[in-house]
Structure 1
Amino acid sequence: MILTNKAFSGFSVNDIKKAKSFYQDKLGMEVTDGPMGVMELHINKDSKILVYPKPTHSPASYTVLNFPVDNIDQAVDELSSKGIRFIQYGGEIETDEKGIFRGGGPLIAWFEDPAGNILSVIESPERGM
């Protein structure tokens, strides 16, 4: 068993400068430069996510980062006004014209960072997910 009370996640991007601009300027996150060319996304005072450059980066086919929000319509509108385009899905996870899945469970909308990684905003009665 791993005996630790801290852990962190990370994912790759193909262009760290574009990623830094996106996460800092479009999403409004605190971003700092880390060691060896990586960057850190600060979620709160104790949590961070490592984003590292990888020349052979391939975007994940799943959601790598979820942002809980109080009001998904407001979050989607705000991000859309900053030029973020939401992914339109059909089938079992069909999204509406704004890109929001409203088919049961939490309301969720997916979008991509400049490296093609899938992110989401998710509205849930349990924001502490």
Structure 2
Amino acid sequence: MVQVSDAFPGFSVNDVDAARAFYGETIGLEVTDSMGGLNLTLPSGQGIFVYPKDDHEPASFTILNFEVADIGKAVDELNAAGVVTKIYTDPHSYGTDERGIAWGSKTGQGPDICWFRDPAGNVLSLIGQ
């Protein structure tokens, strides 16, 4: 059996500098240089490795979910920072409102959630607590 001492998730981006600015300044995570890429430190202390990939293709699924106390306020803050939060426009898919929030707590269909993309096109979300 392999003796694993730790594990961490990772994902690729096409521009490490843009990722550093986005995750550090826009999202507010601790970002440090690591192994030719970046280490993001989540509020829980978990680290995520972000690595450069020349032929990067954005993940078509949600790679990170950020829990927030007030999803409406968090969406407004992202929008003020220039982040587009309405990435799903088909009302039959997720039933998002004009800001891109799917109000699961109001419809009984899961959590309040809003999807958006990082500068590399990877899908992220805010989830209301």
Taking structure 2 as the reference length, the TM-score comes to 0.87
CA-CA distance at 1:8 after TM superposition? 1.1
Whole-Å separation in 2 of the counterparts to 1:89 and 1:2: 46
Counterparts of 1:110 and 1:16, CA distance in 2: 21
The answer for the alignment partner of 1:99 in structure 2 is: 100
Q: Which runs of 5+ in 2 are unaligned?
A: none
Structure 1 runs, 4 residues or longer, greater than 6 Å off: none
Structure 1 contact 13–115 (Cα < 8 Å) conserved: yes
SS of 2:72 mapped into structure 1: helix
RMSD, aligned α-carbons:
1.7
User: Whole-Å Cα distance in 2 between the matches of residues 12 and 80 of structure 1?
Assistant: 24
**1:6 CA displacement:** 3.5
Q: CA deviation at 1:88?
A: 3.0
Q: Residues of 1 paired with 2:30 and 2:73: CA distance?
A: 21
- In the other structure, the counterpart of 1:59 is 58
CA distance, structure 1, for counterparts of residue 71 and residue 16 of structure 2: 28
Taking structure 1 as the reference length, the TM-score comes to 0.87
Give the conservation status (yes or no) of the 8 Å contact 2:88–2:94. Answer: no
CA contact 1:88–1:96 (8 Å) conserved in 2: no
Question: CA contact under 8 A between 1:101 and 1:109: conserved in structure 2?
Answer: yes
How much has 1:2 moved relative to structure 2? Answer: 6.0
| 1:68 and 1:121 in contact (8 A); partners too | yes
Gapped regions of structure 1 (runs ≥ 5): 125-129
Q: Sort the Cα spacing of 1:2 and 1:122 in 2 relative to 1 into closer, same or farther, 3 A.
A: farther
- Counterpart in 2 of 1:118? 123
Q: Between Structure 1 and Structure 2, how many residues are aligned?
A: 123
User: Quick one: percent identity of the two aligned structures?
Assistant: 49
